[in-house]
Amino acid sequence: MYANDFNGEIVINKESQVIEFIRNRPAFNANQFIFTFEGSGAPQLCAFVRDDYCVLYFLDAEQKGTFASYGDDNIRDETVTFYEDVHGAEVVLASTMVITVKQMTDACTEFFKTKTRPTCIKWMEL
């Protein structure tokens, strides 16, 4: 699997490498991860992470849709700010999409194993 984050791209061959990779938070206690298997870029799983907040996006390989994680909305604010790069470029996302770090970890490892949209979290179609 190809994995990209604030530090660049690497190849991941084992589930343990996925877990280690997503622990990396080099700037603002944050990172953005992109996982894919093919040169076309799909299927693709993208994760924004900051502190204990995470948002996932999934792009289907057959162009069957784009999905965002759907959280339990235990956050009081309507939006959460994430970072797109180490320089502090921000992206503001709806708090309804926020999931836990544990849920993100489970979803990323499931994607690594199945190459399909993870079933361990709830999704909303965009």
> pLDDT digit string (tens) for 26-70?
889 999 999 999 766 789 999 999 999 999 999 987 777 899 999
| Inter-residue contact 81 to 90 (CB < 8 Å) | yes
| Inter-residue contact 76 to 59 (CB < 8 Å) | no
Residue 41: the pLDDT is 77
Give the bridge partners for 26, in sequence order.
none
Residues 6+ apart with CB under 8 A from 77: 95
* Segment 100-125, tens digit of pLDDT: 999 999 999 999 999 999 999 999 99
Length of the chain: 126
Residue 40: the pLDDT is 65
Residue 62: the pLDDT is 74
Radius of gyration of the chain (CA): 13
Q: Please compute the mean of the pLDDT values over residues 3-27 and round it to a whole number.
A: 94
Q: Please compute the mean of the pLDDT values over residues 65-85 and round it to a whole number.
A: 86
Cα–Cα dist 103/108, whole Å: 9
Boundaries of every domain in the chain: 2-125
